Structure 1
Amino acid sequence: MAIDPAIVGTEFPPTTLTVEAGRLRFFAKAIGETNPVYTDLDAAKSAGYADLPVPPTFLFAIELEKPDAFAFLAQAGVDLRFVLHGEQSFTYHSPAVAGDVLTATPRITDVYSKKGGALEFLVKETAVTRADGSAVADLKSIIVVRNPGAGK
């Protein structure tokens, strides 16, 4: 089933997360980050941060706080059995640190297909801001959906 391009422009409810130092340490360990600035408060402060900084890819985890983090795919009519990770990118505006309250506001910005509809692409962009509204980063993810019925 093709993804309805009418979903382009859909903005989803924001997710807010208070960044906790313990969670940042755990995340750094999970991704194999060895720079002490991400796990040691003294190292972080020596590097000029007010607290432990958020590791670069951590921001994608904010949206995973929702009870059903992939509901937007179901809303688009996507069968999760056929979902592939396409790509992700980050545009950083300012560093976030432990104690920051961050809000992620996602929206669908594009839907397109390739290979005669065998592959569909859903582009989601997410603005991450602090409680005061200042920009932290813009995230972009491209989700690929295999369409086994295409071309038959």
Structure 2
Amino acid sequence: MARTDSAGLSTPPSTVEVERGRLRLFAKAIGETDPVYTDLGAAGRAGHRDLPVPPTFLFCLEMERPDPFVFLAEAGVDLNRVLHGEQSFTYHALCHAGDTLTFESRITDDYERKGGALRFLVRQTRVTREDEPIADLGSVIVVQQPEAGT
């Protein structure tokens, strides 16, 4: 397994406010029928202070950065050769509409397989509300490198 040199690259922190309207649109897009995600009254009756953030919505918020793919450019990756390999979420606390969340990402591993034809970038993103941990997001980006086979 060949290792490349982008492990440790990080992106500047990015802050995003969670908007109620976007939560409702996301719930509709994923087919969520539980009114706790779309109706403020239902959310309140369920003990929430506002609409709760559905689990995978944090990935959408992570893409709110001014240039969400800058880490790929810094790692020398051609975006046209990228495949989505894996995604994971570890939650520490609930977040809701009105919260301001900060996303901090870094590449934790960068390696090749198949004789260099495939490159894997492992990225971890820490999500916080002020200093409170909300979630840790993980992703693996697979980069096709056909020139390695020649």
Query: Shorter-normalised TM-score: what interval?
Result: over 0.9
Following superposition, the deviation at residue 4 of structure 1 comes to: 7.1
TM superposition outliers: structure 1 runs of 4+ over 3 Å: none
In 1: Cα distance, 2:112 partner to 2:3 partner: 11
Q: Mean alpha-carbon deviation: is it higher for 60-69 or for 25-34?
A: 60-69
Structure 2 matches for 1:87-126, cutoff 5 A? 87-126=86-125
Deviation at 1:6, TM superposition (A): 2.4
Determine if the alignment matches structure 1 residue 129 to structure 2 residue 124.
no
Query: Is residue 145 of structure 2 the alignment partner of residue 147 of structure 1?
Result: yes
Q: Give the equivalent residue in structure 2 for 1:23.
A: 22
**Fraction of identical pairs, as percent:** 63
Where do 1:19-58 residues align within 5 Å? Answer: 19-58=18-57
Distance between the aligned counterparts of 1:149 and 1:7, measured in 2? Answer: 19
Q: CA deviation at 1:60?
A: 1.1
Letter aligned with residue 95 of structure 2: A
Report the counterpart of residue 138 of structure 1 in structure 2.
136
Q: Secondary structure at the match of 2:86?
A: strand
Partner of 1:69: 68
**RMSD of aligned C-alpha atoms?**
1.4
Instruction: Give the CA deviation at 1:5.
Output: 2.7
Q: TM-score, normalised by structure 1?
A: 0.93
Residue 82 of structure 2 corresponds to 83
Unaligned runs of 5+ in 2: none
Distance 2:65 2:132 in 1: 22
Per-residue displacement from partner, 1:14-63 (whole Å, max 9, x unpaired)?
Answer: 11011111111011111221111110111111221111000101111222
